[in-house]
Amino acid sequence: MSETDGLKIPQHIAIIMDGNGRWAKKRHKPRTYGHAKGAKVLEQTLEDCDDLGVKYLTVYAFSTENWARPYEEIKVIMDLFRQYLINSVEKCMKNNVRCMVIGERSRLSPDIIDAINNLEDKTRDNTGITFIVAINYGSRDEIMRGISGIASDVKNGILSPEDITEGTLAGHLDTAGIPDPDLMIRTSGEQRLSNFLLWQSAYAELYERFCNRHGMTGCLLDDPSEETTPSLQHIAAAFPAFCGRETAFLRYLQSECPAVREKVFLPVAPADAPLRID
């Protein structure tokens, strides 16, 4: 966590990007329209987190359980990944963003794996925000793979069982070397972790009212034209809950952070807004 004007900024925010399908359904559009909008909002969210001084942003894009969805929906999501990964190279290089992908890769198409490797290689030395995308990710799967790795090390004489510590397992997870998230946001108002960063989130503050009425893409919703993506106001909504210091946070946004100042429209959501999407 960094400290600005006495205000704590989360070092690492993790977001479960949920509610895309319901958002689209409410607009009488196919679920896949919601996924496309979600991908667009994500670009803005990354930029906003960077502006706010967040060092790591991890987003849950596709879970190990999401393969159970209809084939057509999975196909659209995979196509969105393809485009996103390819387009991200130039954007990340321009904005000094380091990009990483976590999750199990063997089930992904070879061209998607190539695009992931290319994006990671090209952006490896960037020194700005680290952007981590979880694709075919599940915590249980990640922990099982980590345990297998440790078992192999023991079998090969690299490691003694008595030397296994929490750090040993942490070092065998996909997130090895990345600090644990200190703020976990779930859009859509659901309150589950859905197999996301179970080990790493042991002490994360949870915030599920973010975009409580509309889900991730719902960030767009207060703009009837749906042209702009004011995701920042929703990130901003989570921060005071994290710091417990709303006034100081707003003062910080208004005075200390010019890049952000232009974009914040408050209040974010009425206190009596429903907590869940119907």
Minimum CB separation of residue 231 from ligand IPE in Å reads 15
Catalytic residue among 20, 66, 180, 182: 66
Minimum CB separation of residue 138 from ligand IPE in Å reads 9
Binding residue (CB under 6 A) for ligand IPE from 46, 61, 80, 241:
61
Tell me the one-letter amino acid at 147. I
208 touches Mg ion (CB under 5 A): no
State the DSSP H helix or E strand holding residue 188, giving kind and residue range, or none if neither: none
Residue 112 sits at φ, ψ, to 5 deg, of -70, -40
| Separation CA 137–CA 102 (nearest Å) | 7
Sole window of 78-86, 175-183, 184-192, 264-272 interacting with ligand IPE (rule: CB under 6 A):
184-192
Catalytic residue among 18, 50, 51, 174: 18
Tell me the one-letter amino acid at 202. A
**Which residues in 85-219 belong to E strands, given as ranges?**
98-102, 130-137, 183-186, 205-207
Number of neighbouring beta carbons within 10 Å of residue 32? 18
Place of tokens 């954007």: 91
44 binds, among Mg ion, ligand IPE, none (CB under 5 to 8 A by kind): none
Residues 1-30 that bind ligand IPE (CB under 6 A): 16-22
181 touches ligand IPE (CB under 6 A): no
Number of neighbouring beta carbons within 10 Å of residue 189? 23
Residues that bind ligand IPE (CB under 6 A): 16-22, 60-63, 66, 77, 188, 190, 192, 194, 215
